[in-house]
Structure formats: structure tokens, C-alpha cells
């Protein structure tokens, strides 16, 4: 989920300035093997080789403009944790100890051993995703918004890959992005989030369904932007029940 119901005016100004800027780089640091390879590594990793990072519901300590998440943002990461064959680390994006120190001023993790990190929730609620997208511009896709509409944009040229009115019913449809990148230290990140909490949950359902079908080896793209549409029951479900449409990948 990308929004709380109330934001102080000063915080809103910081968020809007942050999200209306362009963050163009020429070569996002994508992971070899793409979404499928990164997810397979998450699933099959040895014990304590992956860190699942929850977006903390507290708004502090986090980088300026990053808000506390809602508990609904945690639902998706539970599905991803359940996909792992071995026990892995779990922590918050405000953690300053083991298994990963996160700079609470920037959102940058400082782990050792080049671990794999998995996140759910977008840059408005997740410190690490904020750092990846808005500070260091390491991602192939980034989130932005204006007063009425949310967007996923391609970093290379700011092409709009998906957009959605903020007035869209959260239980009827959403758009989400999945991407995998690495930082300059060699740490890899697998990121899942939607415009709203329903999209984040749909992202987890979608990748689980691809694993169940044996499709992970074919997902060599570094990102996918996908539309989810509910089947009418108001519940986010897998592609076996709900409609999913790939809008963009690369």
C-alpha cells in the first residue's frame, strides 16, 4: 500500500517534490537471470542467505518523506516467505542491527556477505525501495504520482508503463511491478509492490503461480508491470481465479 489516509502538509510537500522528479540513468543494475532467476534463488537459497524486509508500520526512523506502512502491506511478504525452502532472516526497513543495518536517513542497507534481499511495498512506505528508486536510481522502473494519478515509468526515458487514478477501488483492480536489481556492493534485491496494497498482494500471488506452473526459468526479464483485475468477489487471488495482464516487461 502506498498511501496513508492522512499526511501532514509538510510531509506531503516532501513526498510530492520527491515523486515529481525524474531519475534517469542509462544502465539500471539488473540481476542476471531476471525475475525468474532471482525468485528461484530466493526459493532455493541455503538457510539464512535471504533477508525478507518488511516495511515498518512506524514512520520513524525512516528517510524523510517515507511513511509507516499498513499491516496489509505485510500480507504479500508472508506468501514470499512461504515459498522459501529453508528458514531465512526476517526484519524491518528500520533495523539497525543484525541481520542487516539499514541507514535510517537514506534507506541504504549495509549488509555483509552479499545477501539476497526481498521487499514488499513501494517507495512511500519502504525505506530500502525508496533508496533503490529515488536516491540511487538503481532500478529499471520507478514510481511517481501527481494529484490524481499514479504511474510506473521506465527509468531510461520516462515512458509511462502503467497509470491508475487514485480514485480506483482498491478491491477491484490495481497495477504492480516486480523487478530485480543489485547494488554496487553486489547485494541483490527482489522488489514487489503495487499502487495499492491489493497490487502488492497480487504481485506475490502472481510470482507464486508462475513457480507452481514451472515458469520461473522463462522469466528472464528484469522487470514486469502487470495489471490485476478482481473476479468480482473483492478478494485478491491467484491467476487461477483473477485476471492478470502483463502491461510491460524488459
Reduce the secondary structure of 5-39 to three states and give it as a string. CCCCHHHHHHHHHHHCCCCCCCCCCECCCHHHHHH
Question: For the residues 155-160, what does the mean pLDDT come to?
Answer: 97
- 158 vs 137: CA distance, rounded Å: 13
Supply the DSSP symbol for 60.
S
pLDDT tens digits along 100-151: 999 999 999 986 667 899 999 999 999 999 999 999 899 999 999 999 999 9
Question: For the residues 188-217, what does the mean pLDDT come to?
Answer: 97
pLDDT at site 11: 38
pLDDT band at residue 8, thresholds of 50, 70 and 90?
Answer: very low
Helix or strand (DSSP H, E) at 160: strand 160-165
Q: Does a structural domain hold residue 137?
A: yes
The sign of the dihedral angle between the CA atoms of 206, 212, 216, 218 is negative
H helix intervals, the chain:
9-19, 34-44, 73-83, 127-130, 197-212
Q: Does a structural domain hold residue 166?
A: yes
**Measured in whole angstroms, how far is the alpha carbon of residue 83 from the centre of its chain?**
17
pLDDT at site 28: 61
User: The domain containing residue 231 runs over which residues?
Assistant: 29-249
pLDDT at site 194: 98
Q: Does a structural domain hold residue 4?
A: no
Q: Does a structural domain hold residue 8?
A: no
Q: Does a structural domain hold residue 16?
A: no
Q: Does a structural domain hold residue 23?
A: no
Cα angle 204, 3, 175 (rounded to 5 degrees) comes to 40
- 108 vs 191: CA distance, rounded Å: 14
Question: For the residues 176-185, what does the mean pLDDT come to?
Answer: 93
Tell me the sheet residues that pair with 106: none
Q: Does a structural domain hold residue 19?
A: no
Q: Does a structural domain hold residue 3?
A: no
Domains: count for the chain: 1
pLDDT at site 32: 72
Amino acid at each position: 500500500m502506498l498511501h496513508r489516509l492522512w499526511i501532514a502538509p509538510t510531509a506531503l510537500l516532501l513526498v510530492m517534490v520527491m515523486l515529481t522528479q525524474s531519475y534517469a540513468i542509462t544502465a539500471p543494475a539488473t540481476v542476471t537471470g531476471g525475475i525468474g532467476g532471482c525468485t528461484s534463488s530466493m526459493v532455493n537459497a541455503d538457510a539464512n542467505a535471504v533477508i525478507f524486509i518488511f516495511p515498518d508500520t512506524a514512520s520513524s526512523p525512516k528517510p524523510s518523506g517515507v511513511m509507516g506502512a499498513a499491516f496489509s502491506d505485510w500480507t504479500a511478504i508472508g506468501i514470499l516467505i512461504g515459498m522459501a525452502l529453508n528458514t531465512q532472516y526476517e526484519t524491518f526497513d528500520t533495523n539497525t542491527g543484525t541481520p542487516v543495518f539499514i541507514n535510517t536517513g537514506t534507506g541504504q542497507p549495509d549488509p555483509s556477505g552479499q545477501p539476497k534481499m526481498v521487499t514488499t511495498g513501494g517507495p512511500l512506505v519502504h525505506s530500502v525501495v525508496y533508496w533503490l528508486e529515488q536516491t540511487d536510481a538503481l532500478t529499471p522502473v520507478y514510481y511517481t504520482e501527481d494529484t490524481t494519478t499514479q504511474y510506473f515509468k521506465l527509468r531510461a526515458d520516462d515512458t509511462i508503463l502503467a497509470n491508475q487514478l487514485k480514485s480506483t477501488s482498491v478491491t477491484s483492480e490495481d497495477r504492480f511491478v516486480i523487478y530485480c536489481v543489485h547494488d554496487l556492493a553486489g547485494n541483490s534485491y527482489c522488489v514487489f509492490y503495487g499502487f495499492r496494497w491489493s497490487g502488492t498482494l497480487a504481485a506475490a500471488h502472481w510470482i507464486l503461480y508462475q513457480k507452481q506452473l514451472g515458469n520461473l526459468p522463462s522469466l528472464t526479464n528484469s522487470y514486469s508491470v502487470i495489471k490485476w483485475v478482481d473476479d468480482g468477489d473483492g478478494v485478491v487471488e491467484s491467476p487461477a481465479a483473477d485476471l492478470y495482464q502483463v502491461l510491460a516487461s524488459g
